[in-house]
Homo-oligomer: A and B are copies of this chain.
């Protein structure tokens, strides 16, 4: 390969996907295409880093511009994602050697890894390949996670859209329950994601606003579940308003320290059964208060709901992809484009460079002053933080009543290595 030819880039999506991770891919690929004298082709890993290890690369240059543009409004991971964490160099040198083999074979000089905390750690390790194994590479971590738990960045692309979905859904369901409460349902319970932190649960609090007040109780993973206290509060709100909506995080734990959802359910034959936190809380409401309830579990719907994505989130997701390329072009290594909040009113933000070693393996928890003293609501400070993140709508195009999401061709890059690798 002639030396004058620019290095290719590798891009992979990692971990749980979001409504806007493809917007990041769109920003990254569209920007790279503008600098073809500096970046050759963008190869995507099929199913994340596994694609790199198995030399299963996708040639994004085979996709039409309009397809790459359509990624901006398509949820999920267009190239496939994976849950796979590279071990440390000491523990598994073999994997790093294989990465270098594949990168070398395909002339890859840029490594873009789009994921959460675990991926930041992997990316940091790859960034050190130049030093540790003598392979020149620039590794840029591109932030993504609905969990909103990456440090330094003000918020994580993917979170704003989940937050919007939960806030909107909770408002809508609350209107529903309010209509039914006279003779039927009085307690509505929605279970949301967030095993470690209550970021997503907190978004349920936005369902209630100054102009549209709604009685809402939030069960945060940060607050140990106190059954009596909760029932007292729920009962009081039902007496006052006729109904109450409960937003319960999947990560809520009982006094015994076990997940509320983990109640050792057994069916009639004694087989262990799956539960959710929502039905468990519903069962308790029935037992303790004798009130009629309904419950929902949003699960994947919340993080896939591109149809109600936040415009702020889409813009930021696109921007981190774009800025990742720009950082690479400036020669950066081991960095992450982070979102910096410049002002709240009006909301302004910009992208800054964060050193990756300050990002990897650090989990950002909800500040204590985001949760009200009684443990069931969000404070004004939290509301101020969340509101701009769900702002604006960014609707996908529709055809026959259905959103037109793009499916790429995902043309494989011809394999060059003779060796196979099983991760």
Question: A residues touching B (Cβ–Cβ < 8 Å)?
Answer: 13, 16-17, 19, 47-48, 50, 74-78, 80-84, 164, 167-169, 171-173, 175-185, 188, 190, 206-207, 209, 211-212, 263-268, 271, 273-276, 278-280, 282-283, 286-287, 294-301, 303-308, 310, 312, 387, 390-393, 395, 398-405, 407
Contacts and interface: CB of A to CB of B under 8 A. Distances in A.
Contact of A172 (B13, B172, B283, B304): B304
A177 B252 CA distance: 25
Contacts of A276: 279, 297
6 contacts: A206-B401, A265-B266, A266-B266, A273-B283, A387-B400, A390-B400
A402 B273 contact: no
A13 B393 CA distance: 31
A211 B75 CA distance: 16
Contact of A209 (B294, B305, B400): B400
Nearest to A400: B387
A83 B186 CA distance: 13
B273 A265 contact: yes
A182 B307 contact: no
Contacts of A173: 299-301, 304
B403 A387 contact: no
Contact of A391 (B75, B273, B283, B400): B400
Contacts of A395: 393, 395
Contacts of A175: 74-76, 304, 405
B209 A402 contact: yes
A217 B135 CA distance: 48
Given A305-B169, A307-B172, A212 B407 contact: yes
